[in-house]
Amino acid sequence: MSQTASASAGLRVAVLFSGRGSNLESLAKHMAQDSVPAELVLGISNRPKAGGIEICAARNIPCQVIDHKDFDNRAAFEAVLHEAVTEAQVDLICCAGFMRLLTAEFVTAWHDRLINIHPSLLPAYKGLNTHARALQDGVATHGCSVHYMRPEMDDGPVIVQKQVPVLPDDTPDTLAARVLGVEHGAYCDALDIVIKKMADTA
């Protein structure tokens, strides 16, 4: 934990997002509970028009837009990102629909303090278009994974997985909606696990 985050105050969490922010909102609601020893202290979006920005505003969560298009390279973008989370004295970063690949240097700097949610049962279907690929393969179950991030894309120890059935008439959109229905609970469960682990090792 950061020097200012005592065990009683709880973990200081930042959420990185690029889109509508449904997992951001779910995590915010979860951390707003008195029983959860964590505080969402910062939201960061790399897209100026991301829907999650409005969620932060509605919940009085400090939010920064760090547009990756304003930088010449990933290192410059990540330097500003690192500065933002460091200034906010963040203990844990949650990627929630954050559509930017982070460099090995950034991921290593935040080793075991950087987690991500991915719409597949890892290690299956890393990368994009997970639902269409699952349907193409004819799998019976699909789902989501919350995992510690490692330098390789969609790699790292899995914290929580939740499964959904694949139905005969599924399309990528209907399957995506069913997976999203379990993502929110999965991320909150994973956050609880990480909070306890970090508290035990503090």
Distance CA(193)–CA(182), nearest Å, equals 17
Please identify which of the residues 30, 118, 147, 184 carries the catalytic annotation: 118
* Residue matched to tokens 């970063």: 93
Distance CA(28)–CA(17), nearest Å, equals 13
201: nearest Cα among 40, 91, 83: 91
Asked if 68 is an active-site residue, the reply is no
Contact, 107 vs 150, CB < 8 A? yes
> How many CB atoms within 10 Å of residue 162?
19
Residues annotated as catalytic are 118
